[in-house]
Structure 1
Amino acid sequence: MDLNTITDVVRRPPDRPGAAWREGDAWLAGGTWLFSEQQPDLRRLVDLTTLAWDTLVPSDAGLEIGATCTIRELYALAPPDDWRAASLFGTSCEAFLASFKVWNSATVGGNICMSLPAGPMITLAVALEATYTLWSTDGSERAVAAADFVTGNRENVLTPGEILRRIDIPVRALRKRHTHRRFTLTRLGRSTVFMIGTQAPGGDDLLLTITAGTTRPIRLAFDAVPDADSLRQSIDAIPDDVWFDDPNGTPDHRRHLTKHFAEEIRTEFTAGDRQ
């Protein structure tokens, strides 16, 4: 879609582009959402892709993902053999309601910052205990846990002009065992519920991440795999207003699916049937 209110496009912003932020600006990376509908309040686009941030940087500490890394680049990553949970990269990329053309331009950071309940990069980052580095307009930066970043449907902790610079996933999370469940109304549809369970190698813990069915990510942590009643009670404790309501599912439907899939995940870890 043409954005007929835009009067300027900054093709080569400074290395810390937030210093020149002004009202009516928008960060431009993949632009898959930005150009999908009218943006009447915008006057200027600031192109982040020309900054040439590193896309994927594996190290002994884990994986650093530049915010402008495309979905295609993440999907193509060949991880070290001991990163058992790295198969969730492909699983999460395939959870996009998008064509290969969108994969080539949509970015990891863009999906996170849109903060939609069904954003699969949000699911991935929260489940793998990622930390986000945010750049402020005054030149400072702060770190925010992925689990705390999204606060509601299309709502997050970003302040005006603040930018998501990178996503850091710790190696301990990448080495975890894992399983997941995802439900859609159609085979290639938007997620109604997307859940990931992880467990430390040789451990008995359970970290259960619930997304798509809730307006913000919910993470339930257990020192040991709980029994069925305890797990169900933990899900029942999620506030009613957190369950998402849209044409893909009512809150009651999503709560029911979450309980059903959570029990399947619990049973897998109890039985030792996990990756």
Structure 2
Amino acid sequence: MDLNTVVEIRDARDPAPWRPGDAWLGGGTYLFSEAQPRLRRLVDLSRTGWQPVTVAPDGALEIAATCTIAQLSRCAATLTTRAAPLFEQCCRAFLASFKIWNMATVGGNLCNALPAGPMISLTAALDGQCLLIAQDGGRRQVPVTAFVTGAGRKDLAEGELLRSVTLPARTLACRTAFRQASLYGLGRSGVLVIGALDPVDGSFALTVTASTVRPVRLWFPLPPTAAPLRAAIASAVADDEWFDDIHGLPEWRRHMTFRLAEEIRRELEER
């Protein structure tokens, strides 16, 4: 939709003081989806020229905030790591048209901080680290699980920029299992659970998103049995942290989380 309060679009490559009413513009699929009456100026990131995905010498994967879902999907098709299938599974969890795939960005999905954001699911499950850049140039690293603090809430100061998310090589080598549930055949994720088994030390991680207001990542030195896994989830997610909206009641989300977590535990145990 037209943003009739915006009076200026600034190229992010040209430094200028941040001011009230400014907002970073990535793909714009959220910004232009509804009225934004507080905005006066958009700072356009589309011409920054950031490489969508970069492989570090140690095998880690750095995903630029401006990387689109389509670009991430194409890159994932070339990966040879064991966790590679998880990228496409999470991209497909968007259930979006090709128009959205070619405009929506990884950074935008993270910064919207919606429980059903599948890029949150992907990067949290693979122990992603967000690189944040302040207006004064200061940098800090924040785990994805700490970056998203609640439904629509994130650890991002005024004017601070999410530059990229880095996924460690070790987690990219993990065997993964993916489960998603929705109230509708082609509906928004009501529950999304990902398991990862480390081939080096046999540790097990379970990440819960969509059913909770924030991503929850549980780590076990060895794969747990059913009862300890269930107890760990129940302990990690407070009663008021099960998400409640038109896409699922908290009781249903909680029930399905336990059910899908157990399916994942058994799948990774049997391989």
- Aligned equivalents of 2:51, 2:270: Cα separation in 1: 40
Aligned-pair CA distance for 1:204 = 2.9
TM alignment of 1:185-224, pairs within 5 A:
185-201=183-199, 203-224=201-222
2:54 is aligned with what amino acid? V
- Aligned equivalents of 1:139, 1:59: Cα separation in 2: 23
Aligned-pair CA distance for 1:224 = 1.0
Cα separation, partners in 2 of 1:89 and 1:134, compared to 1, 3 Å: same
**Are 2:47 and 1:53 equivalent residues in the alignment?**
no
Q: How many residues of Structure 1 are paired with residues of Structure 2 in the alignment? A: 268
- Aligned equivalents of 2:12, 2:123: Cα separation in 1: 29
Q: Provide Cα deviations, 1:67-104, integer angstroms capped at 9, x if missing partner.
A: 101100000014342x1102111111100032110111
- Aligned equivalents of 2:193, 2:4: Cα separation in 1: 40
Q: Provide Cα deviations, 1:121-140, integer angstroms capped at 9, x if missing partner.
A: 00000001111100001111
The alignment-based identity, stated in percent, is: 50
Residue 74 of structure 1 corresponds to which residue in structure 2?
A: 72
TM alignment of 1:7-156, pairs within 5 A:
7-11=7-11, 13-14=13-14, 17=15, 20-61=17-58, 62-77=60-75, 78-81=77-80, 83-156=81-154
SS at match of 1:185: coil
Supply the RMSD in Å over aligned alpha carbons.
1.2
Residue 245 of structure 1 corresponds to which residue in structure 2?
A: 244
**Are 2:249 and 1:264 equivalent residues in the alignment?**
no
Residue 180 of structure 1 corresponds to which residue in structure 2?
A: 178
State TM-score, norm by structure 2: 0.96
1:259 is aligned with what amino acid? F
Q: Given that residues 60 and 171 in structure 1 are in contact (C-alpha distance below 8 angstroms), is that contact kept between their aligned partners in structure 2?
A: no
- Aligned equivalents of 2:254, 2:194: Cα separation in 1: 15
* Gaps in structure 1 of 5+ consecutive residues: none
Aligned-pair CA distance for 1:205 = 1.8
- Aligned equivalents of 1:202, 1:137: Cα separation in 2: 40
1:263 is aligned with what amino acid? E
Q: Given that residues 181 and 195 in structure 1 are in contact (C-alpha distance below 8 angstroms), is that contact kept between their aligned partners in structure 2?
A: yes
Cα separation, partners in 2 of 1:130 and 1:159, compared to 1, 3 Å: same
2:78 is aligned with what amino acid? P
- Aligned equivalents of 1:76, 1:184: Cα separation in 2: 26
State TM-score, norm by structure 1: 0.94
